[in-house]
């Protein structure tokens, strides 16, 4: 199934066939990436990487993906180095660059920013994170990692922990997982950081949803931990109450064949000692970002 010429804004409207087409192409791109090949299919094409929020993994991953496909990258990683610092709007930045590029990749602190960008240009737009809303490419690499490790997605129980209110990775992954059969979604968070109610109602239409009153990792096939986002919590005391930690003691309670994931960066929510556990898959998860984003870019531009 082709995404040619399409925007990639949200996991909400995606269907299973679209997701599976990306995962299948990601597997092919993974082989090329493992061999450190540079392909030629994006030769002569330019991607604008516009990051209005700090990023290491996502921006570098997209940049690497485009270059591995043979394309070029322009843009900025700090809005202070762009005309945004002079008061230029996102609308005007898009209009100024659209004649120069074949694809926009945008991260922005405002929810709906990527959708707004897509509405003002005919150049395809990929949402690399809009506030606390969506992060669809992260959801695809998460699914790819799960399928690669577990050999399936159908029938899994996935526990998501941490900042579920502002966590755009959790939001996108939840909607993507809901497209598969017999998936059960479990959520555990501090009371002030619960999954938004309207999202839970949406998800209950497609899969089983359970909110846990205490941290219980024993039934999950996948434990998906997220950072408590200090930058989105104004009250320091609220942040302190929200902090949690996964260490070896917690991991002992996980299934022997479970996997621990995290979209990174982590702070203190996963102890470094957990890195040595074979079930810790967050660095493999991060590595998978490049071939998955190669697949997304190729699906849109090829």
Q: In this predicted model, what pLDDT tens digit does every residue of 147-181 receive, in sequence order? A: 999 999 999 999 999 999 999 999 999 999 999 99
- Where does CATH 3.40.50.1370 sit in the chain? 16-134+289-301, 136-286
Query: Which CATH fold would you assign to the domain 136-286?
Result: Rossmann fold (3.40.50)
pLDDT number for residue 1: 54
- DSSP letter for each residue of 197-260: HHHHHHHHTTSEEEE-SS---TT-SEEEE----GGG---HHHHHHH---B-HHHHTTS-TT-EE
Residue 60's SS3 state is helix
Cα separations in angstroms, 127 against 10, 130, 173, 189, 278: 7, 7, 14, 26, 32
> Is cis: bond before 287, omega within 30 of 0?
no
Q: What pLDDT score does 197 carry?
A: 96
Residue 82 to residues 47, 130, 244, Cα–Cα distance (Å)? 16, 19, 37
Nearest to 173 by CA among 11, 44, 5, 6: 11
Q: What is the pLDDT of residues 83-135, one digit of tens each?
A: 787 788 999 999 999 999 999 999 999 999 999 999 999 999 999 999 999 99
Angle, CA 197 vertex, CA 193 and CA 199 arms, to 5°? 100
> What pLDDT tens digit does each residue of the chain (302 aa) get?
579 999 999 999 899 999 999 999 999 999 999 999 999 999 999 999 999 998 989 999 999 999 999 999 999 987 777 778 778 899 999 999 999 999 999 999 999 999 999 999 999 999 999 999 999 999 999 999 999 999 999 999 999 999 999 999 999 999 999 999 999 999 999 888 899 999 999 999 999 999 999 999 999 999 999 988 777 777 877 777 777 899 999 999 999 999 999 999 998 899 999 999 999 999 999 999 999 999 999 999 98
- In CATH, what is the architecture of 16-134+289-301? 3-Layer(aba) Sandwich (3.40)
pTM of structure: 0.94
Question: What gap in Å lies between CA 36 and CA 122, rounded to an integer?
Answer: 32
CA distance linking residue 248 with residue 124, whole number of Å: 44
The two tokens of residue 39 are 């392909």
> What pLDDT score was predicted for residue 175?
97
- In the structure encoding, which two tokens stand for residue 105, read together? 């990749």
What positions carry a catalytic annotation? 57-58, 86, 107, 135
């Amino acid at each position: 199934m082709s995404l040619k010429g399409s925007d990639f804004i949200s996991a909400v409207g995606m269907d299973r066939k679209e997701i599976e087409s990306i995962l299948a192409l990601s597997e092919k791109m993974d082989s090329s990436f493992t061999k450190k090949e540079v392909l030629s299919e994006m030769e002569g094409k330019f991607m604008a990487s516009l990051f209005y929020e700090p990023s290491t993994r996502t921006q570098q991953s997209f940049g690497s993906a485009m270059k591995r496909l043979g394309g070029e990258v322009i843009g900025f990683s700090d809005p202070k180095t762009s005309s945004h610092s002079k008061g230029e709007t996102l609308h005007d930045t898009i209009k100024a660059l659209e004649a120069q590029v074949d694809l926009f990749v945008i991260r922005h602190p405002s929810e709906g920013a990527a959708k707004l960008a897509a509405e003002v240009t005919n150049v395809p737009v990929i949402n690399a994170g809009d506030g606390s809303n969506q992060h669809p490419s992260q959801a695809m690499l998460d699914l790819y990692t799960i399928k690669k490790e577990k050999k399936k997605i159908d029938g899994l129980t996935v526990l998501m922990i941490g900042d579920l209110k502002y966590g755009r990775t959790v939001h996108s992954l939840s909607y993507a997982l809901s497209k598969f059969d017999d998936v059960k979604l479990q959520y555990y968070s501090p009371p002030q950081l619960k999954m938004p109610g309207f999202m839970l109602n949406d998800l209950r239409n497609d899969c089983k949803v359970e909110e846990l009153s205490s941290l219980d990792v024993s039934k999950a096939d996948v434990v998906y931990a997220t950072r408590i986002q200090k930058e989105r919590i104004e009250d320091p005391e609220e942040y302190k109450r929200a902090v949690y930690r996964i260490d070896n003691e917690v991991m002992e309670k996980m299934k022997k064949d479970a996997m621990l994931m995290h979209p990174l960066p982590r702070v203190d929510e996963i102890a470094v000692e957990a890195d040595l556990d074979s079930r810790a898959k967050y660095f493999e998860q991060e590595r998978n970002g490049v071939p998955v984003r190669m697949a997304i870019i190729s699906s849109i531009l090829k």
